[in-house]
Amino acid sequence: MDFFSQIKPFSPSAGFLGLLPRIHSLVLAFLVALAAPAWAQIEGKGLSGEVPTPGGRIVMATIGEPTNLIPPLATDSSSHAVSSLLYVSPLRYDKNIRIEPYAAESFEVLDGGRHFRFKLRENIRWTDGQPLTAEDVEFTYKLMVDPKTPTAYAGDFLAIKEFRLTGRFTFEVFYEKPFARAVSTWASDILPKHLLAGEDLTNTRFARTPVGAGPYILKQWVENQRVVLEANPDYFEGPPFIKEVVYRSVPDQTTQFLELKAGNLDTIDLTPPQYLFQTGGPKWEAGWRKYRYLASAYTYLGYNLSHPLFRDKAVRQALAHAIDKREIIKGALMGLGEPTIGHFKPDSWAYDHDIKDYPYDQGQALMMLAQLGWKRESPTGPLMKDGRPFAFAIFTNQGNEQRIKASAIIQNQLARIGIQVKVRTIEWATFIKEFVDQRRFEAVLLGWSIPQDPDAFDVWHSSKTTKPGLNFVGYANPEADSLLEEGRNMIDPALRKPVYDRFQEILHEDQPYCFLYTPYALPIISARVHGVEPAPAGISWNFIRWWIPTAQQGVAYSQ
């Protein structure tokens, strides 16, 4: 969970080159109707017309090392970024964010979306040499629906009425009724039955020594330093051009930038000041390529709804009036973001633009809090109730400058009305395991990635409040639950739209999060890396076809 992480996080390998989708039913047009950013939103030019040369190494930074390389058990973006290069899935998203076959050779959608038929490719092998078969898919399905599996992602699989093996490389699935996320469910990674059957997934060596069937193989994992992957020579689409991928743990964006300047990293996500002011001029233009597009993510201030301060939605509404989102975007992002009011991407069909945000109004905030018994004994004194000050801590992760700045700005804004806020920054893995997962926080400032399908069940349904559910703030609203259940059982976006509009209205009224902003993604990549082609899916959809010219493949890096 760089809580720009799941629902399922955007990863460096999101979508690879492959066959065009074989559309067998008109209903598929509705099942894969997905919003995508316009090409015009993406800055930077792709390189084409060159002959790739295999070899070389690309070095990338992660804010924290992976926690687990068995995908269903991990909720952090570092784990998913690495594992997405190690495993394959029946389906995947292409560069235009449309579903296409991947490990599946073909698939059919039958009976109005209630019946799916898959044929797997017969030339895919796990990296230990064993063939990948439909039994592996069946094993993965059974693992996901097993209540003993500690996964946050079981919901989509639980919607399946029946899974049926029909051959060594064929299987079918049946649904009681059409399910909006049925197609995207099968973009989930396949796990090896012959290795994981009978394993305790919470204590298995394969969490750190995974065996996959994807384009890369785990070569080395040095704790808190680096994860090294090497190209899989037996990958069914052909080996990736870049021979080695190194993920270095650099838990600070400033340090990442210094490492980039020193030539020890090939790509990072720039901070707004770095993008605007520190990467201009002939040297940068010659040696690097910068990109900018609206990220499929949002940042939020989330409240622990079991904490006495935040149980009353009127308090949370008052805080929404006391927080100036545009000041946060200006101060933390230097303007490189857009304010948001809900869980969906502002340029997607599901986003409700008719909802009016809470205006920044300190007077209104104080009046609402006064009605709840919170008052200031002097114009500059603390806000008090029953002899206690209104005081809490915002937890966020170390190394993320924007989040730390946003937290400090909110701290200052709330101080203006007498609310005392402390900002606590914690190392990523500790933050997630010891505080977020254990619900040991008052408020958190984090981000979610936004999936291609707008189903928000895993984050907002009340059934996901139990560990390890992603609804860690403890939000529960019966009408919201009903709408989430209804929306995911619809296929046509035109029918789903009013359902999600109403869901956003409820969420906006309840304010379990103060939704802050959608940032711009600001990646920078060394010019020695060729083959980068911007697309609606971002810049990494064809990662395995990136390449480095022979003369530049020997560039060293600091270990």
pLDDT in tens, 512-547: 999 999 999 999 999 999 999 998 888 999 999 999
Residue 351's nearest CA partner among 361, 359, 341, 360 is 341
The whole-angstrom distance between residue 198's C-alpha and the CA centroid of its chain comes to 30
55: left (phi over 0), alpha (psi -120 to 50) or beta: left
The stretch 27-40 carries a mean pLDDT of 34
78's enclosing H/E stretch is: helix 77-83
pLDDT, one tens digit per residue, over 467-501 is: 878 999 999 999 999 999 999 888 788 899 999 99
Q: What is the pLDDT of residue 25?
A: 31
pLDDT tops 90 at residue 20: no
Residue 265's nearest CA partner among 539, 55, 559, 557 is 557
pLDDT classification of 315: cutoffs 50, 70, 90: very high
pLDDT tops 60 at residue 4: no
Q: What is the pLDDT of residue 49?
A: 61
Q: What is the pLDDT of residue 433?
A: 87
Q: What is the pLDDT of residue 111?
A: 93
CA distances from 543 to 54, 64, 290, 522, 526 (A): 13, 21, 16, 17, 14
The DSSP-derived string for 429-463 is: HHIIIIIITTT--SEEEEEEE--SS---HHHHSGG
Average pLDDT, rounded, for the chain:
89
pLDDT tops 60 at residue 351: yes
pLDDT tops 80 at residue 30: no
pLDDT tops 80 at residue 48: no
Q: What is the pLDDT of residue 50?
A: 74
Whether 314 and 371 have beta carbons less than 8 Å apart is answered as yes
Distance, CA of 47 to CA of 231 (rounded, Å): 22
pLDDT, one tens digit per residue, over 168-182 is: 999 999 999 888 889
Tokens of 555: 């560039």
Q: Which domains does the chain have, with CATH numbers?
A: 27-292+522-552 (3.40.190.10), 297-520 (3.10.105.10)
448: left (phi over 0), alpha (psi -120 to 50) or beta: beta
pLDDT tops 60 at residue 91: yes
Q: What is the pLDDT of residue 555?
A: 60
The stretch 446-466 carries a mean pLDDT of 91
pLDDT tops 70 at residue 248: yes
pLDDT tops 60 at residue 189: yes
Residue 186's nearest CA partner among 131, 239, 240, 144 is 144
Q: What is the pLDDT of residue 491?
A: 79
The stretch 211-219 carries a mean pLDDT of 98
The DSSP-derived string for 354-413 is: TPPPPP--HHHHHHHHHHTT-EESSTTSPEEETTEE-EEEEEEETT-HHHHHHHHHHHHH
Q: What percent of the chain has pLDDT over 90?
A: 74
Counting Cβ atoms within 10 Å, is residue 377 exposed (0-12), middle (13-18) or buried (19+)? exposed
Q: What is the pLDDT of residue 11?
A: 31
The stretch 269-273 carries a mean pLDDT of 94
pLDDT tops 60 at residue 103: yes
- Residue 422, SS3 per DSSP: strand
pTM of the model: 0.78
- Helical H runs in 20-63? 27-31
pLDDT classification of 148: cutoffs 50, 70, 90: very high
Distance, CA of 183 to CA of 98 (rounded, Å): 10
Q: What percent of the chain has pLDDT over 70?
A: 90
pLDDT tops 90 at residue 78: no
pLDDT, one tens digit per residue, over 386-433 is: 999 999 999 999 988 899 999 999 999 999 999 999 999 999 888 988
- Residue 62, SS3 per DSSP: strand
pLDDT, one tens digit per residue, over 111-133 is: 988 999 999 999 999 999 999 99
Strand partners, 449: 297
156's enclosing H/E stretch is: helix 155-158
Torsion, Cα of 384, 387, 390, 391 (10° steps): 140
Top mean-pLDDT range of 43-52, 317-326, 453-462: 317-326
pLDDT classification of 75: cutoffs 50, 70, 90: confident
The DSSP-derived string for 237-299 is: T---SS-EEEEEE---HHHHHHHHHTTS-SEEEPPHHHHHHSS-SHHHHHHEEE-BEE-SEEE
User: Within 10 Å of residue 422's Cβ, how many Cβ atoms?
Assistant: 12
